Amino acid sequence: MRSNIRSLWLTMAIAITVSACGNDTQESATPPPAEVGFITISPHAVTLETELPGRTVSFKTAEVRPQVSGIIEERLFEEGQMVKKGQALYRIDKRVYAAQEATARANVEGAKAQLNIQNVRHERLEKLHNRSAVSQQEFDESKARTTELKAQVAAASAALESARINLDYTTIRSPIDGQIGRSSVSAGALVTAGQPEALATIRQLDPIYVDITQSAAKLRQLRQAIADGHLDASAETITLRFEDGSPYAEKGTLQFAEVAVNESTGSVTLRALFPNPEGVLLPGMYVRASVPEGQVSDAILIPQMALRRDPRGNASVFLLDDDNKVIAQPVVASRTVGNKWLVTEGLNAGDRLIIDGVQRIQPGVTTTPVALSNHEGEEE
């Protein structure tokens, strides 16, 4: 009986061992090729942009100062309102200037009266001179006196015009259209002609300038790339973002680039012009401007996840050959465009680029490729 039991246990142990060996054999079988997702490289035209810091600047700025001295009688505007060119802003006590204008007018009338008398006398002397009834000296003196009185009339007329201008200056007017700021004086204040302190400042904010700074070296590289034919000059507009990252609705155009380099920063100032109908942009605001650099006609863009770098920083990607084997391809990625890399060397149209399953493969292994659209795998 015991011999039979031992035989039964031995048979079961052998069966279990054989079963375990069978499982090991199955587990050690060759695994199927790794599945990878790929896209087909297709070059297309891309506009390159760079984001640069900038500051908003008024389109026009005018500081209001008095042209004549006197006491401010009245302020004729509300601080912060929009004003028009020629609109009255302040009124200065004009009594002194009105009296000066009246005196100058009287001087003109007096000079004209003396000239009229002299003209009559000179005409009489001229007739007598023609009949040799007066001496040549007397006639010449009369002629000189007439010329002198004409000069006095001209001087008096100029003094009258100056008095009229000063009288008109007692009403201080806006030199431009724009929004006026706070007033530095009130009624009763004494102001003087040409004083350093402005009575108020007017700024024209629609349109508005944005001064953008760019390194001189980068600007030179861009111009060289355009000259060499690598980039096409772009006529696209400039976009803005506020300091918090939110976009500005209006688009601007580049006006000019400064012809001098800032010695302390090595940068060049670019000036752009933006519509500002709602007055959202105020002078002195910090903004970020996306400036078009040019257009690449046959750009190759790849998702960032497809690019690998070795410890030395050299970039490479995984491609599929005709046998669906993995190839490590060195590339040159010059910059990012949005959420992709711009590859300038190493890839050609039609190459199959692996973008999914990169972590599971090595060069030389055979894969099971799955075609993806060129928009799949992009980072948000």
The tens digit of pLDDT for each residue in 178-209 reads 999 999 999 999 999 989 999 999 999 989 99
Looking at the structure of the chain, the number of domains it has is: 4
Query: Where is mean pLDDT largest: 12-21, 74-83, 368-377?
Result: 74-83
Residue 78 shares a structural domain with residue 193: yes
Q: Which two tokens stand for residue 306?
A: 């497809």
pLDDT tens digit sequence for 226-264: 566 555 555 557 889 998 889 999 998 877 776 677 777
Closest CA to 177 of 203, 153, 154: 203
Three-state SS at 289: strand
pLDDT at 6 over 60: no
Assess if residue 114 is contained within a domain: yes
Same domain, 236 and 160: no
With a threshold of 0.85, does the pTM exceed it?
Answer: no
Distance CA 117, CA 196 (A): 49
- Helices (H) and strands (E) counted in the chain, each on its own, are 4, 20
Does 84 share its domain with 179? Answer: yes
Q: What pLDDT, on the 0 to 100 scale, is given for residue 105?
A: 94
Q: Give which of 94, 108, 98 is closest to 158, Cα–Cα.
A: 108
Residues 185 and 239 in one domain: no
Instruction: For residues 147 and 109, state if they share a domain.
Output: yes
CA dist., res. 127 & res. 69, Å (int): 53
Is residue 26 scored above 50 in pLDDT? no
pLDDT one-digit tens code per residue, 65-99: 999 999 999 999 999 999 999 999 999 999 999 99
Helix then strand then coil, in percent of the chain rounded to 5, is 30, 35, 35
**Predicted pLDDT at 1:** 45
Cis-peptide into 275, omega within 30 deg: no
Dist CA 1 CA 333 (whole Å):
81
Q: What is the domain range of residue 145? A: 95-168
Query: What is the distance in angstroms between the CA of the first residue and the CA of the last residue of the chain?
Result: 76
In a domain, 223, yes or no: yes
Among 85, 86, 67, 88, smallest CA distance to 77 is for: 88
Instruction: Say yes or no to pLDDT of 336 above 90.
Output: no
Residue 2 pLDDT: 47
pLDDT at 268: 82
- Region 324-345: what's the mean pLDDT? 87
Output the average pLDDT for the chain.
Answer: 83
pLDDT at 75: 94
The residues facing 36 across adjacent strands are 369
- Reduced to 3 states (helix: H, G, I; strand: E, B; else coil), residue 8 is helix
Same domain, 87 and 147: no
* Identity of the residue numbered 326: V
User: What local confidence, expressed as pLDDT, does residue 139 receive?
Assistant: 80
Give pLDDT, residue 287: 93
**Is the confidence at residue 301, as pLDDT, over 50?**
yes
41-56 residue pLDDT tens = 988 888 777 788 899 9
